[in-house]
Amino acid sequence: MIATNRSVHFRQISHSQPTYHITNTPDTMNSKMVSIDFWNTLVHADSNGEKRHEARMQALRRLAREYEKELTDEAVQNARREVSSAFDAEWFGNQRTKTTRELVEKMLEVLAIPARPEEMDELAEAFRESLFLGPPALAEGLKPALANLAMYYDLAIISDTMYSPGATIRRYLEQQDVLHYFKVFAFSDEVGVSKPHEKAYRTVLDALQASPEHSFHVGDMQRTDIAGAKSVGMKAVLYTGISDKDKPENSADYVCETWEAIADILVSEIA
C-alpha cells in the first residue's frame, strides 16, 4: 500500500567515518543510487529489543557488583533516561551521535560506578554485542525488494547509530545475507555526523559518483531521513511499514507502507 499526503493512490511532489566501504564505483556522475536507513526501515527497532536491553543490563550489573553496588530498577531507569537525554541533545542539537563508549561512560557516571578505562571498554563491547543476543527482524518483503533494486541502482546505507555502531551493523547484515547488496555505508559513528547533516548524504553520493537528482533516500523519519535527503537535492521515500508517526506531515516525494511498493516505484523511475 502507498499512502500519500493527497487523496490519491500515490503522489510525487517536490516536496542511517570516515570509514565507508566501496565495492565498485562508476566513472561518471550519472549513477543512480538508493540509500537506506537501518532502524525501522531495514529492520524493526523494537523486535527483540527487550533481549538486547537485558543483555546490556546484565553486563552493567556484573560490573556494578565488582564495586559492591546492587543496582535498583529505579536507578537503572534513571540512568537510562539520563543517557537517552544526552544522546538526543547531541543527535538533534549537534547532528552527531555519541559512541557506545561515550554512552557507557555517561551511564557509569550517573550510577556513580568508578570503573577503570579497561572496564568501560569491556562494558561498551558487551553493549555492542547485545545486537546478536536479540537480533532485530528484517522488514517484511525486504530481501526481494533489495534484490530488485540492486539490478537498477547502487545501494547504500545511511544510518545513525547508538549502542550498535557501524561495524556491528555490518556483521549483522552479513549474518542476514543482505550485506552484499550494499556498496557504501555512512554510519554516524564513522562519518562523524548524523542525519540530516549533508555530509552523511554526500559521503555516499561522492563515493558512488551518483548525481543527487538521480538518487533516492528511504527512511522512516521526516526530521532526519527526509529533510537531509531533500537538502542535498535527492528524492526521498518515507517508509511507514514499521513506524508511521511522520505519515501525517512530511515532505517526502513518496510515502510507502511496503518494501514491495518502494521497489515498484523506484524501478518505474528508471523508465
Report the alpha-carbon distance of residue 211 to residue 28 in Å, rounded: 9
Q: Is 112 found in the same domain as 17?
A: no
In this structure, the dihedral spanned by the alpha carbons of residues 203, 266, 212 and 12, taken in order and rounded to 10 degrees, is -130
What proportions of the chain, in percent to the nearest 5, are helix, strand and coil?
45, 15, 40
Written as one string, the DSSP assignment of 112-179 is T----HHHHHHHHHHHHHHHHHSPPPBPTTHHHHHHHHTTTSEEEEEE--SSS-HHHHHHHHHHTT-G
Domain boundary among 80, 115, 133: 133
Sheet of 33-36, strand order:
2-3, 254-256, 235-239, 216-219, 33-36, 154-159, 182-187
Q: Is 140 found in the same domain as 26?
A: yes
Q: Is 263 found in the same domain as 152?
A: yes
- pLDDT the model gives residue 30: 59
pLDDT in tens, 35-45: 999 999 999 99
* Count of domains for the chain: 2
Domain boundary among 86, 111, 133: 133
Q: Is 119 found in the same domain as 166?
A: no
Q: Is 143 found in the same domain as 60?
A: no
Query: Which region among 17-31, 68-82, 124-138, 169-183 has the lowest average model confidence (pLDDT)?
Result: 17-31
**Average pLDDT of the residues in 104-131:** 98
Domain boundary among 133, 161, 185: 133
Q: Is 240 found in the same domain as 172?
A: yes
- pLDDT the model gives residue 18: 36
Which residue segment(s) compose the domain that 126 sits in?
A: 49-133
Q: Is 254 found in the same domain as 198?
A: yes
Report the alpha-carbon distance of residue 193 to residue 199 in Å, rounded: 7
pTM over 0.85: yes
